[in-house]
Structure 1
């Protein structure tokens, strides 16, 4: 084991200690939960990264992402012409200047949203989710709808996953509610996974498979950090067993295709609006802050997140770069962080550090996503609105630590 791998190994219990220290309850943490969470992450990561058949599956996932990107480009080229990726009618004087994010990358959300809806209607996604939920039950001893909500978050968004268990949300214990919220922020949805993988493919090998592995590893990490911050009370009644009762959402394949496209359009416009607003607000804050202090929000974030970068096993000389992008993720969103990682080519970072960073960025851990999740879940379960709102910021803290745990796990399993 190299020194950097040992640094990642040391970082995992340090991140556990941080989650425990950030919680409001210092008692009730069960050793079984800690052991299951850490072993679950490491064993899952080892299987996904080092078992040859699963490694080969990464190449298949990458090929599927490339096929989706090419198919989407055919559609955007037809609708938007050269803005959407069709051949340019003029010479490009600045390399890369013809790439327009909204017209070429973001429409993937529409295609993947429609396909996801069809796969759900065909019961493919529910079968995979139920399998993962049973694995989480075996690891953590959680039962029923809470497992289903966490498992669904690996493939769908932080609002869509609770929709699958909305009939049981009102009966969740406070800890189960918190686990569901943390899992929603610590993972990414399938449509965004495809977009991010397309963006960072030149920087991170097997990007699609790596991001899928990151989202899977983040599921036990999210449960662990959530239960360290808010342990389940002994004797709390289990939530209902909903693993076999995933509701049908669509009347037919065509209905799934149409509604999935419409949902994707809403997400596409929401991403566009969020990017404009949050990037503008950060620029405005920096314009006011820098003349007074000589610092920007990104520089402040680089200091605050430096220990987390080190705990993931990043070399000290590269921690500032990794920490700054972690800070950008929380202040703005992970889209901007991945975009900067891709546009700079991971300048100043080794291949291992780029991989660790890709795992740590793989989650909706930002203030905007907290607002979206809290609003959506409060609408589903209005009788617990105040409780959901009060858990919003703590869930952001727990999910951020969980994403760093995923980074530390891949750091432990990846030699320099």
Structure 2
């Protein structure tokens, strides 16, 4: 109480602090000015609000409504677009189901993955927890379950071979034997015991090089396809579609084959991209890869070709269906062979797919992506052209030297390709190629292994064109072309970047990306090259087992009726029925036969399986 009284007395008798009073008055003035300014701003806003037109008010109201209901509006737009696309697919299937079947399959696969992503995002953790008892049961009996599955699979394959493949001929059995031999060799030496789409490129080629651009077919017809496809893939990568597709394919291989996310994504990327581009997909993870994973990544690069290069092969005349199938099959085949040739013995750094991310392109818009893709293709085109020029020149020089040396020993026809034909002949025969064609296919394999797969496909395209031209099969005892079955096996065997030049390129690229792993990369290089080559040969064996060329009835009947004894088989009855359908009877002894059949074919069929809709005695 006394202190308070003294304080009050001192406040009454004391003097004011002038500096403090001035500061308080200044702050009061600031507060007053702020209030007046805010009142002025509000008045100005009200004035501007009155000055706005009715259209501006409506636009602001619409923007506010859109911002408030953004999610609902996006959902309605997506549902509308989806319903419109579904209606378009249904209408296309009703009008022409055969032509719309591809669009239908692509749509169903896309819908499946979109629904899968939506389900996993919301219920994935719950499903994983609920499946815990089943996972424990499988882990406890994993060894037994695997052995049971292996025995069942082996039994199914044996039954299939006995009931189906063995009836087709010896070539299919030889292809299957070759497949088993290749797998056995990999285990023995283990480290631890579309044409229409392409034609759009011709429009740009004709504009730049003139109407006579096909006079220089390789440079002005084949190479522009690389530029076109590179631009398309770059645009798809910019929009994220390519990354999405690679992730889905890689996820399927990771689940079904038990491989790590990094090597699975790299193998999936090799289906569409080149060796260097596929490695870029896993650039942040290269330093953490095990040696087995590095080996698998490199094997995938050697076992497949880039999607842009496929277009060039197709333009050469190689069957596009076989090329696309070989490119897709090479991805899982490369992983299987890589893990057989170099099993995993180390701890993997990235085990879950959720820890693995793929980004989109770095371009700001689609036009920049298109330009960047075309620019990147220029380097590829230049690399292919200059390599082919240098390789052809060196091979010509080497053949001249070998011929000179061979002439000393009475063999002037000695050449590099002749040596390759004898070295790789057992391999081509083991894959199911007929004996008379095995030397030619072996020559193609040698060109691909030591020189370049592009040159091998060029040689194959010449053989295909000769067969289609219908010329003589032998000229001076030299075979001019091979059978369709041999062409198919060769197409699969050549579909890969597994050559010595690609080995140096891939080792250099990966060593630049991960300098600390240079020694591991170089130690894996040669084994990965061998594994990539074997992957291509395995897909060729599978093609030899499964592929049956379309039956050429005129040739088949001529061959059958030239034999001393003819057996009535299913093929014979089918061809005779086709022959009867090609016969037009105007009157007795006045008939025409179409489809390439001959009178001797008709006589033989009438003798063995007489027709039901006309009498053979009226035409013979």
Provide TM-score, normalisation by structure 1.
0.82
For 1:73-152, list aligned pairs within 5 A: 73-85=202-214, 98-152=215-269
Tell me the residue number matched to 1:208: 320
Q: Does 1:414 align with 2:547?
A: yes
Asked if the contact 1:274–1:368 (Cα under 8 Å) also holds between the matched residues in 2, the reply is no
4+ residue runs over 4 A deviation = 240-244
Q: In the alignment, is residue 164 of structure 1 matched against residue 308 of structure 2? A: no
Higher radius of gyration, 1 or 2: 2
Aligned residues, how many? 360
| Cα distance in 2 between the residues matched to 1:194 and 1:364 | 15
CA distance in 2, matches of 1:289, 1:393: 27
Kept in 1, the 8 Å contact 2:239–2:360? The answer is no
Matched, 1:188 2:305: yes
In the alignment, structure 1 residue 343 sits paired with structure 2 residue 462: yes
**1:188-246 superposed Cα distances (whole Å, 9 cap, x missing partner):** 11110111012124xxxxx223211101111122112222221111x522535467511
In the alignment, structure 1 residue 306 sits paired with structure 2 residue 428: no
Equivalent residue number for residue 434 of structure 2: 315
Of the three residues 325, 336, 350, the one matched with 1:239 is: 350
Give the distance between the partners of 2:256 and 2:404, measured in 1 at CA. Answer: 51
Report the TM-score when normalising by structure 2: 0.56
Per-residue CA distance 1:31-55 (angstroms, 9 max, x = gap): xxxxxxxxxxxxxxxxxxxxxxxxx
What is the Cα-based RMSD across aligned positions, in Å?
Answer: 1.8
Moved more, 330-339 or 277-286: 277-286
CA distance in 2, matches of 1:102, 1:150: 30
CA contact (8 A) 1:144 1:242 kept: yes
1:17 equivalent in alignment to 2:184 = yes
Q: Which residue of 2 aligns with 1:291?
A: 404
Residue of structure 2 equivalent to 1:154: 271
- Other-structure match for 2:490: 357
CA deviations over 1:26-76 (Å, ceiling 9, x no partner): 42xxxxxxxxxxxxxxxxxxxxxxxxxxxxxxxxxx2xx32332x211111
The structural deviation recorded for 1:284 is 2.3
Q: CA deviation at 1:312?
A: 1.4
Rounded Cα–Cα distance in structure 1 between residues aligned with 2:482 and 2:321 = 21
Specify the SS of the correspondent of 2:272: coil
Does the CA contact (< 8 Å) of 1:312 and 1:411 recur in 2? yes
What SS does structure 1 have at the residue aligned with 2:511? helix
Measure the CA separation in 1 of the matches of 2:359 and 2:515.
20
Q: Displacement of 1:182 after TM fit?
A: 0.8
Query: How far apart are residue 164 of structure 1 and its match?
Result: 0.6
Assess if the C-alpha contact under 8 Å between 2:445 and 2:494 holds in 1.
yes
Deviation of residue 409 (structure 1)? 0.6
- Alignment-derived partner of residue 170 in structure 2: 3
- Cα deviation, residue 371, structure 1: 1.7
Match of 2:560 in 1: none
Residue of 389, 394, 399 corresponding to 1:276: 389
| More deviation, 372-381/187-196 | 372-381
SS of equivalent to 1:106: helix
Where does structure 1 lack aligned partners over 5 or more consecutive residues? 28-61, 86-97, 202-206
Q: Which residue of 2 aligns with 1:387?
A: 520
Task: Determine the structure 2 residue equivalent to 1:228.
Answer: 340
Following superposition, the deviation at residue 126 of structure 1 comes to 1.6
State the distance in 2 between where 1:16 and 1:290 align.
38
Give secondary structure in 2 for the equivalent of 1:409. Answer: helix
**Aligned residue for 1:178?**
295
- Structure with the bigger RCO (C-alpha within 8 Å, sep 6+) is 1
User: Cα offset for 1:143?
Assistant: 1.8
Give the CA deviation at 1:147. 0.7
1:397 aligns with 2:397: no
Tell me how far apart the structure 1 counterparts of residues 241 and 426 of structure 2 sit (CA, whole Å).
41
Distance (whole Å) between structure 2 residues aligned to residue 395 and residue 190 of structure 1:
21
2:500 is aligned, of 367, 382, 389, to 367
Map Cα deviations across residues 79-116 of structure 1 (whole Å, 9 max, x no partner): 1114524xxxxxxxxxxxx2431111111111100100
Structure 1 residue 387: Cα displacement: 2.1
Cα distance in structure 2, aligned partners of 1:324 and 1:150: 28
Partner SS, residue 128 of structure 1: helix
212-221 or 340-349, larger mean C-alpha shift: 340-349
Deviation for aligned residue 1:14: 0.4
CA distance in 1, matches of 2:462, 2:382: 23
C-alpha change, 1:18 and 1:285, in structure 2 (3 Å) is: farther
1:221 and 1:402 in contact (8 A); partners too: yes
Distance 1:107 1:373 in 2: 25
The answer as to whether partners of 1:309 and 1:322 remain within 8 angstroms in 2 is yes
Q: Which runs of 5+ in 2 are unaligned?
A: 1-164, 468-479, 550-620
Q: Is the CA contact 2:489–2:544 (under 8 Å) kept in the aligned structure 1?
A: yes
